[in-house]
Amino acid sequence: MSNAGFNPKEFCTHLPLQPGVYRMMNTAGEVIYVGKAVSLRKRVSSYFQKTHLGPRTQLMVSQVANIETTVTRSEAEALLLENNLIKSLKPRYNILFRDDKSYPYVILSGHEFPRLGFYRGVLDKTHQYFGPYPNAGIVRESIQLLQKIFRLRTCEDSVFHNRTRPCLLFQIKRCSGPCIRQIDQQDYQNDVQNAELFLQGKQTEVMAVIEAKMQQASERMEYEQAAALRDQIQALRKIREKQFVDSGKALDADVIACALMEGGSGKVCVNLAMVRGGRHLGDKSFFPQNADDCTAADVVEAFLAQHYLNRSAPPLIIVGEKIKREAFQQLLAAQCGHKITIQSNPVAEKRAWLTMATENAQQALKQLLSRQASQEKRLLALQQVLHMPGLSRIECFDISHTLGEATVASCVVYDNFSMRNNEYRRYNIEGITPGDDYAAMREALTRRYQKVVSGEGQLPDLILIDGGKGQVTAAQEALQELGISEAKLLGVAKGEGRKPGLEQLISPAFEKPLQLPSEHAALHLIQQIRDEAHRFAIQGHRGKRAKTRTSSSLEDISGVGPKRRQRLLGRFGGLKGVLTASIEELQQTEGISRNLAEKIYKELH
């Protein structure tokens, strides 16, 4: 053992046979693994008695210098404590899933004319929510379908209450115009009810209701309305034909499948397919860390615990592996307030869902490995070009502004063959001459690496600068002022006509700029990282600029006093509406002449 003062066998003899959680620690006092047990003594002892442990587990055990335990009242309670500790401590030998944001929903607001929209966050009982969906794109597709079929409004209440004429969505038949009473409340509510049935997976019932209305309209010789209802039925029929998985039952379930790369490489994919109202809403793939030597059952158990911790779960969870279900069912039921059933051997259509999820997990894993092979090839090529065999971590900086306004610097991180989004940083640059990119670059690097000087974080193997010799010199000056001399700098200057493939690489170590062939793998990696830094900088700049303009734009326009501002904001439902209004629409506001409308439009654009 790494600590002669710790005797594991003697330690284990004093452990209770009760359920609990154990924390393995190294000589530095860091928790390297957290586990749960039905019997603490039996589980912890097994690590020091077995001779057929996997290589990764053997390495972990060799580093154990101390073990701490916590006794719990049940296995379910141990499971909850274990995963709270895993999420907070992130031990290096535990399987770790990225903690995603909350999943998106479709919302129907609790309004007399309910609004259809996208929602992410805490659920409020005053509104109706449908989902969750695996990603935002599927939610937006669903909203577009519902707009096309049922023509529900998507505008904010502030805009809805201040409209005096129909919007573009009404004109292209994506909204029935309740804001200007082009539809009465009862008819609108009928459309809302049909949309609810559709979102619940009851498409056949929706079609039956609409077909009956079509017949009634035809009998009354209201042929235009009958034709509109006929179009709704045809659209619904097409959607139902496209729906790949439909059980015909209003069933809510999550389907979890796992794919492991052969050879114990640690490459694992977990695919989560979501079924709501009997309809397959889509799926999402997860790639955990630290999964070497783990079985598929270990990975699925880790996913169940970490994914559903403090998150709602459907009544049915289908898994592709045999796991210890009782503790999970007990914990999730207590957390969600309803019975949870976990099935590991489904039949009929549920088996089809699991098969599809398994195939998707295998396909996603193949794609990941293919992308990684490409990234390895690119990184190797860059290592050879720069003569840096140990190159792994790259940080790239870019500056974005509009004529010196709202200057923002970005720093993106590439490490271990992929972009590390959670390590990205933005810096608001102030107190410099507007448009001085060199000063902005100096400040960005100073703020980024002064923490490294004070002992926080790490210096990357390579610092990439989006810019030419001037930006590289500014970056070099910033690092020299911090006393950092070992950093490697590389500038990426845009080539003639700013065409991709003609970039020049500039470094204090080069006698002259280096231009790689447009098809060179190293250049492709540099372009990938540079473009990501550029995107991240522009995104931050636009947000900052919009915030600045939002707070001061109308106040800065001469001739627009408090009363006129109030009328404009009231008419268009806020500044966003004013920004999207035409000169003619601005002119229709009380107190706004043609000349003033033109002036307002020009100032805001």
Residue ending a domain, choose from 519, 547, 575:
547
**590 and 542: one domain?**
no
Give yes or no for a contact between 310 and 105, defined as CB atoms under 8 angstroms apart: no
Cα→Cα distances 398→148, 450, 472, Å: 41, 18, 11
CA dist., res. 330 & res. 339, Å (int): 8
* Number of compact structural domains in the chain: 5
Q: Going by DSSP bridges, is the β-strand pair 418-419/425-428 parallel, antiparallel, or unpaired?
A: unpaired
CA dist., res. 22 & res. 78, Å (int): 10
Residue 540 belongs to some domain of the structure: yes
Q: What is the CA radius of gyration of the chain?
A: 30
Residue 512 belongs to some domain of the structure: yes
Q: Is the dihedral of CA 23, 27, 30, 32 positive or negative?
A: negative
Here the CATH number for the domain that contains residue 565 is 1.10.150.20
**322 and 354: one domain?**
yes
Residue 498 belongs to some domain of the structure: yes
Res 266: pLDDT: 66
**139 and 183: one domain?**
yes
HSE toward the beta carbon, residue 293, CA cutoff 13 A: 11
Res 302: pLDDT: 92
Q: Which helix (H) or strand (E) holds 258?
A: strand 253-260
Token couple for 96? 């770790």
Res 290: pLDDT: 86
**405 and 534: one domain?**
yes
Res 441: pLDDT: 95
Residue 378 belongs to some domain of the structure: no
> In the 8-state DSSP scheme, what is residue 115?
P
Residue 178 belongs to some domain of the structure: yes
Here the CATH number for the domain that contains residue 336 is 3.30.420.340
CA dist., res. 532 & res. 420, Å (int): 11
In sequence order, which residues have a C-beta less than 8 Å from that of residue 351 and are 6 or more positions away?
none
DSSP for 43-90, please give it: HHHHHHH-S---HHHHHHHHT--EEEEEE-SSHHHHHHHHHHHHHHH-
Res 523: pLDDT: 95
Residue 334 belongs to some domain of the structure: yes
Q: Which of 542, 541, 569 is nearest to 555 (CA)?
A: 569
Give yes or no for a contact between 139 and 131, defined as CB atoms under 8 angstroms apart: yes
**569 and 530: one domain?**
no
Residue 3 belongs to some domain of the structure: no
**363 and 422: one domain?**
no
Res 377: pLDDT: 94
Res 281: pLDDT: 80
Structural domain harbouring 521: 394-547
**82 and 113: one domain?**
no
**422 and 506: one domain?**
yes
Q: Tokens 């439902």 identify what position?
A: 573
Residue 145 belongs to some domain of the structure: yes
Segments in the chain below pLDDT 70: 1-5, 50-51, 99-101, 235-236, 238-250, 263-266, 497, 546-553, 573-574
**141 and 167: one domain?**
yes
**Which residue type, as a one-letter code, is found at position 526?**
I
DSSP for 403-459, please give it: TTEEEEEEEEEEETTEE-GGG-EEEE--SS-TT-HHHHHHHHHHHHHHHHHTT-S--
**401 and 543: one domain?**
yes
Give the CA angle between residues 416, 422, 427 to the nearest 5°.
Answer: 115
**257 and 333: one domain?**
yes
Here the CATH number for the domain that contains residue 66 is 3.40.1440.10
**Which residue type, as a one-letter code, is found at position 468?**
G
Res 238: pLDDT: 63
Residue ending a domain, choose from 498, 530, 547:
547
**583 and 459: one domain?**
no
Res 343: pLDDT: 93
